[in-house]
Structure 1
């Protein structure tokens, strides 16, 4: 399978997996036009759509794509039923498409019904985990999101984090505001700056990389605890996660 990203809106990515025969899977098509253009240019034939949650910038193109390809199966959580989903999936379900098996992982936090799709090595995680960050808590709690991060952190280090937004640089800048002398963060920041200067994508990242540079995965980190405890006295990783998310909201 080949992984492709289609830019959409200001900073979204619509992901496409295609096989050697040109059949493909579309993930979170927030708008139809760039997808239809890519399908035509690459002569791809869509087999299915995967949806992670109900927000418009992830589902806005579904109905137009279904008009063009009325036989498409659209897999998504219950909260996307009115957005075009015709096959509701839940935690632990297995979805078989193009000789690949995708496991559905429930990851509430950004929305209550948010899910991710995992088929080694690809993790389509919508707005749950970003490179260097995590999604805003529009419906769920910090504890929800922390628990979702722990689930994803059990996946192999080589897992590719196919998130839906190019937020990496702002996330790393936030992390450096907390740990300005961290070697891993500074190295990654230089790499990300170089890529963005060339208008190149920073995604996908790997879970192994995220364990080094994503503070939301480093809530047991001694340096992070020491820095945070200059302002407050938080010890539990869930509390540190919530503190980070609150700080990021106003960064």
Structure 2
């Protein structure tokens, strides 16, 4: 009994002193651009920093989101996430960026980011964006140019073009390595009948008039 009490107390204290957030740790210095591959001598959670004397302004600029991606695919969309691995200046800052281009009647299939929440800004066009909570409740809104929408961390979400011209969105995610888990790509080939069926089901959401916080079934299970 005494041993049980000691173990319980230890576990309680461990829980109390566990950091309340599991997101990226805050930076411990003003800046820490990622060191080039050939300078890395250790494996660590993140990337080694450049020597302060070699830091340049160019470490904090990227052109990777300047152009639209290729849209000649089944879903007529392209998503480009830029993390600290591609943009050295993001290292230790706890964020990454993304550009999404969606052609008319295109869609970004349901996916999630296990290590980040996402804040999306509609730059051009109009889109339909939504996410599901863990009970299956759908939160969906039509968005126009200048609108911002949040996808909470780890929740399955999707985007589709709601207009007749190209739509472009830009996002910021609060992890330098947010990860992407695709519902279809994780289980089926991208060009499979299942994936095509999901696209068809998701496109029906364009025609749905859904009020805020309305509960509905997952579209890929009905």
The structure with the largest alpha-carbon Rg is: 2
For CA contacts below 8 A with separation 6 or more, give which structure has more relative contact order.
2
